[in-house]
Amino acid sequence: MKAIELSQYGPPEVLQIKEVEKPVPKDNEVLIRVHATTVNFGDLIARNFKAVTPRNFNMPGLFWFFAKMYFGFNKPNVKRLGSEFSGVVESTGKAVTAYKPGDPVFGYPGQPMGAYAEYLCMPESGVLAPKPANMSHEEAAASAYGNIMALYLLREAGIQKGQKVLINGASGSIGSGAVQVAKHFGAEVTAVCGTAGLDYVKALGADKAIDYRREDFTESSETYDFVLDVLGRVSFSRCKKVLSENGRLQYVSFKMKQLLQMLTTSIAGNKKVVCKLAPGSVEDLKAVKELIEAGEIRAILDKSFPMEQAAEAHRYAEEGGSRGPVVITLT
Ligand SMILES: NC(=O)c1ccc[n+]([C@@H]2O[C@H](COP(=O)([O-])OP(=O)(O)OC[C@H]3O[C@@H](n4cnc5c(N)ncnc54)[C@H](OP(=O)(O)O)[C@@H]3O)[C@@H](O)[C@H]2O)c1
């Protein structure tokens, strides 16, 4: 089979098509013919992890160290990227009961990645679910990672009907899921993103869109019950004035400073800082599938590239401001 692999860290050109052995599913695994995968934040960072320092890493230093151990210090241990996909079950291990050959599925292999290949094995109990019936493979591939993170984080935050919610980083994978999930919970949603993503976030259902390059939302007279900051770009001291009486600022990406602020604001003050990790679970993927089929979550793709143009896909995703998912097709 063909796979997109990297043998060294670096620019998009390190992604090369290789002829490799087709995997064989273990007893508890399904072999999936991958039809589409995406270029997301994790793929871009894992392709050039050598350049990631504790300072420019979006999470605490200890997380950086463990990520570095996993992905490799100077050479990539993870050679096949791709943390979300859509495809069709080709064959199953003998202990598998939930899936059979021919079933369309979508999923999130997460940190082990591996979806940049024509075939992928995943445990039947992995983050895998039947593909939403109303989506193409390209749309379904782009609907796993960001939506399961967003659904978990906003459900845990207890977003209520009528609340005012602001998503900072709304045009990326988690942000676009968060805009739609917050609308599903009945919130009034303000989406903050770059210029290129303004029409995209409005098309996803945002009530208002703010270009962070032109306007600082913390300087506005609006207040919000809940602010979700995807990349951890806004400080609590700045955000405080736009939080309502018992408002919360939740960081999806955070450092030690924000963890300490979570501790101190949990003891004193009405306005809170929250830092939370989403597990990326199969239950959430199944819930996302239901929301997609109910028309509550949709995928508006930016651009699709064939696997032979994986390097171009990475360059495009890296250079352009986010205006929807960038997809790689493998059929
Ligand atoms: N807490 C958890 O459990 C969890 C789980 C997974 C990932 N993460 C973290 O989430 C982050 C990745 O999220 P993602 O996949 O959604 O990323 P993404 O797809 O790259 O999206 C990032 C978004 O942020 C926007 N942005 C960039 N600079 C900004 C600024 N200064 N102010 C406001 N918005 C800005 C981008 O818009 P433009 O492109 O237009 O600039 C884009 O909309 C990583 O830091 C990762 O570590 C956390």
Domain carrying residue 132: 2-143+299-329
pLDDT in tens, 243-272: 999 999 999 999 999 999 999 999 999 999
CATH code of 191's domain: 3.40.50.720
Same domain, 50 and 61: yes
> For residue 13, what pLDDT is reported?
97
> For residue 234, what pLDDT is reported?
97
What does DSSP say about strands 85-92 and 104-107: parallel, antiparallel, or unpaired?
antiparallel
> pTM (2 decimals)?
0.97
State if residue 109 touches ligand 1 by the CB under 6 angstroms criterion. no
Q: How far is the CA of 147 from the centre of ligand 1 (A)?
A: 13
Same domain, 13 and 26: yes
State if residue 197 touches ligand 1 by the CB under 6 angstroms criterion. yes
Same domain, 262 and 149: yes
Output the residue whose Cα is nearest ligand 1's atom 35: 169
State if residue 175 touches ligand 1 by the CB under 6 angstroms criterion. yes
Q: Nearest CA to 298 among 132, 74, 68, 158?
A: 132
Q: CA 37, 299, 277: angle at the middle one, nearest 5?
A: 70
> For residue 331, what pLDDT is reported?
80
Q: How far is the CA of 22 from the centre of ligand 1 (A)?
A: 34
282 within a domain of the structure (yes/no): no
Same domain, 35 and 122: yes
280 within a domain of the structure (yes/no): no
> For residue 38, what pLDDT is reported?
98
Same domain, 25 and 126: yes
Q: In the chain, how many domains are there?
A: 2
> For residue 117, what pLDDT is reported?
98
> For residue 322, what pLDDT is reported?
83
State if residue 42 touches ligand 1 by the CB under 6 angstroms criterion. no
Residues of the chain with pLDDT under 50: none
Give me the phi and psi of 47, to 5 degrees please. -65, -25
The CA R_g of the chain, rounded to the nearest whole Å, is 20
Furthest C-alpha separation in the chain: 61
37 within a domain of the structure (yes/no): yes
